[in-house]
């Protein structure tokens, strides 16, 4: 596929609380500029919120060791003056926050999260590391610094040549840090559905004033939680309220925004974001009034950094589904050193998604080289064969009848893995 280099303009007319996160504006932009994105995005979200089959890498019993995923991060610092050229210490403070928040090691968990919600708190089992190897295998600090023009518009051009081009999205989480033109804008991250379109802005773009806990970090968003929130979107999470200003009880807003909640059962439905630092319990935006009120202290809401402190077990499931599906290539990246999987684990890392599928599905193989897939119907007849040439391969089965199909995936004639796909 051709690489898409697309810029979008932040919606300046949005109220201040809506500008904290650019996820909704970015999705609308992608829908309007990339042919086929809308339908594929909905299929992908259906997959990660309700996968048809268990995700092998995370389907373990209590006796098995937990799999903590380490994700290499490259920071692109884009600065207009020396003040914006933030220090290594500020960047490292952001890494510390991410690792504490995603492992439920944050010191404020018990003080910010009410007792009634604490049993739902999740160790997401994701660790972020500053890259030590670049895409060519050379040693790196994981931090790139580049002076940009005074007229540079971060929210439009962060991933262009005028900003800094991304490293391989299959192997690194790219984080661009700079100063937004819109002073109320904090950050934005891309959903996992952009991967098959080779969208070059995949990753996180964040204001330097909202990065980490020191340096230029500015209250009340100086606890590093903007990155925690936005990377939640990168792994597929939605805002708890679904869309701003939507009346409770409307499961379908329109074709583009079909739900007014986040599709996670253990986060209570709300109809708008919370802001500031509310007093628990609060039913201000709750769809159902209860004694415990809304979960406004969740990382995916809009409260001040000091007033959010956890992900739920349901949100963890969504993120792990994403890591076992569209972002599976991150599992085998060696950007932080030698992290190789065994041959069996590498073959198991071959991922087929979304499933069920209406038209197209992807086969991703970040660790094993694959070159062919055979598709069989329920009575064992081969109905399609396709050559595979990339890490992420698009397979079209629009012509096949609805039903269950079985896959056999090969490398140079050697069978690697079987799987199944359900055609809607």
Per-residue pLDDT, averaged over 113-126, amounts to 96
In Å, how far from its chain's centre is CA 374? 30
Phi, psi of 386 (to 5 degrees): -140, 140
Q: What is the pLDDT of residue 346?
A: 56
pLDDT band for position 243 (cuts 50, 70, 90): low
CA distance 174 to 191: 13
**Angle between the 88-102 and 225-234 helix axes, to the nearest 10 degrees?**
60
Residue bearing the bigger pLDDT, 404 or 123: 123
Q: Is the pLDDT of residue 62 over 50?
A: no
CA dihedral over 322, 170, 203, 133, signed as positive or negative: positive
Two tokens, residue 203: 């990753």
Euclidean distance between CA atoms 237 and 126, whole angstroms:
15
**Does residue 66 carry a pLDDT above 80?**
no
Q: What is the pLDDT of residues 308-342, one digit of tens each?
A: 999 999 999 999 989 888 888 887 777 776 444 45
388-409 burial, b at 16+ Cβ within 10 Å, e below that, comes to beebbbebebeebeeeebbbbb
Residue tagged active-site, from 38, 230, 343, 399: 230
Per the CB < 8 A criterion, the answer to whether 215 and 244 are in contact is no
pLDDT, the chain, mean = 84
Q: Which residues pair with 79 in a beta bridge?
A: 147
**Side-chain half-sphere exposure of 52, counting CA atoms within 13 A:** 16
Distance separating alpha carbons of residues 6 and 85, to the nearest angstrom: 25
Q: Which pLDDT tens digit goes with each residue over 340-368?
A: 445 555 555 688 888 888 899 999 887 77
Q: Reply yes or no on whether the pLDDT at 252 is more than 60.
A: no
The pLDDT value recorded for residue 379 is: 61
Buried b / exposed e along 137-152 (16+ C-beta atoms within 10 A): eeebebbbeeebeeeb
Burial of 1 (0-12, 13-18, 19+ CB in 10 A): exposed
Q: Evaluate whether 306 touches 223 at the Cβ level (below 8 Å).
A: yes
Active site residue 230: yes
Whether the per-residue pLDDT at 411 is higher than 90: the answer is no
260 close to 242: Cβ distance less than 8 angstroms: yes
* pLDDT per residue as tens digits for the range 142-160: 999 999 999 999 999 999 9
- Distance CA(388)–CA(91), nearest Å, equals 39
Q: Which CATH architecture has domain 16-322?
A: 3-Layer(aba) Sandwich (3.40)
The residues near 125 (Cβ < 8 Å, ≥ 6 apart) are 66, 67, 68, 69, 102, 103, 316, 320
Domain formed by 351-423, architecture: Sandwich (2.60)
Contact 316, 124 (CB under 8 A): yes
Residues 6+ apart with CB under 8 A from 264: 49, 237, 238, 312, 314, 315, 318
Backbone dihedral angles phi then psi of residue 92, each to the nearest 5 degrees = -65, -35
Strand partners, 351: 364
Residue boundaries of the structural domains of the chain: 16-322, 351-423
């Amino acid at each position: 596929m051709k690489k898409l280099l697309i810029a979008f303009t932040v919606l300046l007319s949005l109220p201040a609380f809506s500008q904290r996160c650019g996820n909704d504006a970015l999705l609308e932009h992608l829908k309007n500029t990339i042919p086929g994105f809308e339908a594929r995005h909905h299929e992908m979200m259906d997959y990660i919120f309700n996968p048809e089959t268990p995700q092998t890498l995370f389907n373990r019993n209590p006796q098995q060791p937990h799999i903590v995923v380490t994700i290499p991060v490259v920071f692109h610092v884009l600065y207009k003056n020396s003040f914006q050229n933030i220090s290594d210490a500020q960047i490292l403070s952001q890494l510390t926050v991410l690792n504490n928040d995603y492992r439920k090691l944050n010191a404020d968990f018990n003080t910010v999260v009410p007792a009634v919600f604490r049993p739902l708190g999740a160790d997401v089992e994701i660790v972020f590391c500053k890259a030590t190897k670049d895409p060519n295998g050379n040693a790196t600090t994981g931090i790139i610094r580049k002076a940009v023009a005074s007229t540079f518009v971060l929210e439009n051009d962060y991933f262009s040549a005028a900003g800094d081009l991304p490293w391989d999205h299959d192997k690194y989480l790219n984080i661009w840090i700079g100063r937004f033109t819109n002073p109320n804008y904090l950050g934005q991250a891309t959903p996992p559905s952009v991967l098959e379109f080779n969208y070059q802005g995949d990753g996180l773009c964040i204001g330097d004033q909202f990065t980490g806990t020191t340096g230029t970090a500015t209250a009340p968003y100086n606890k590093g939680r903007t990155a925690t929130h936005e990377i939640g979107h990168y792994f597929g999470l939605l805002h708890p309220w679904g869309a701003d200003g939507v009346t409770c009880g409307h499961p379908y807003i329109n074709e583009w925004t079909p739900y007014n909640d986040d599709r996670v059962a253990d986060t209570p439905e709300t109809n708008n974001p919370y802001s500031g630092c509310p007093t628990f319990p609060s039913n201000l935006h709750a769809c159902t009034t209860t004694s415990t009120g809304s979960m406004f202290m969740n990382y995916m809401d809009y409260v001040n950094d000091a007033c959010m402190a956890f992900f739920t077990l349901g949100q963890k499931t969504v993120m792990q589904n994403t890591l076992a599906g569209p972002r599976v290539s991150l599992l085998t990246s060696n950007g932080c050193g030698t992290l190789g999987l065994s041959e069996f684990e590498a073959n198991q890392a071959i991922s087929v998604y979304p499933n069920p599928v209406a038209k197209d599905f992807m086969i991703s193989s970040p660790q094993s080289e694959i070159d062919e897939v055979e598709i069989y119907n329920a009575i064992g007849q081969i109905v399609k064969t396709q050559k595979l040439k990339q890490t992420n391969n698009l397979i079209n089965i629009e012509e096949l009848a609805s039903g269950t199909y079985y896959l056999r995936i090969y490398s140079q004639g050697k069978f690697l893995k079987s799987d199944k796909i359900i055609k809607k």
